[in-house]
Structure 1
Amino acid sequence: MPYRVDLAYRVEEALEELPEEGRQEVMETIAAVLVEIGSRPAPCGWDGALRFGSRCWVGFTAYADGIEVYGVGWAG
């Protein structure tokens, strides 16, 4: 089953401003969230979650067919 990832507009802007290394790590962290379905909050609810990479974080909420990323950060 294919999953979708929606990025909030401010997330798209933040990704553009990151260096390649930061963008790569954030995208890998988003991919990890998609693979680990059990670590997501209940779909279609008000709950959000954070997932941490080695130097980044991703804030997201879950839907039945994917996730929406509403915030990212990178400490590089």
Structure 2
Amino acid sequence: MAASKSSALGDLPDEMFNIIKAAGSVLVPRLGRLALPGRKIMETPHFLAGTSRGAVPHITQDTFARDTSIGGVYVALEDYGKS
């Protein structure tokens, strides 16, 4: 079992997350770039909209797409469970 996990992790490209500027002794965010296969590259730090049952509260999907520049959402695994 461990061999299959390590081979799957070994198949991931090294450039999925690159650190652009590491934080030194100063309290600043680390700048990076997250690149997932088939997705747009996301600069970090970045805001992810929190969802409730898969939808961003208090905003419709068309308004979210048209009027925001948020590149991702957080969907909890509980939202996919049986009700």
User: What range describes the TM-score normalised by the shorter chain of this pair?
Assistant: under 0.3
Question: Normalising by structure 2, what TM-score?
Answer: 0.22
Flag the structure with higher strand content: 1
Flag the structure with higher helix content: 1
Question: Normalising by structure 1, what TM-score?
Answer: 0.24
Higher relative contact order (CA 8 A, sep 6+): 1
Find the structure with the greater CA-based Rg.
2
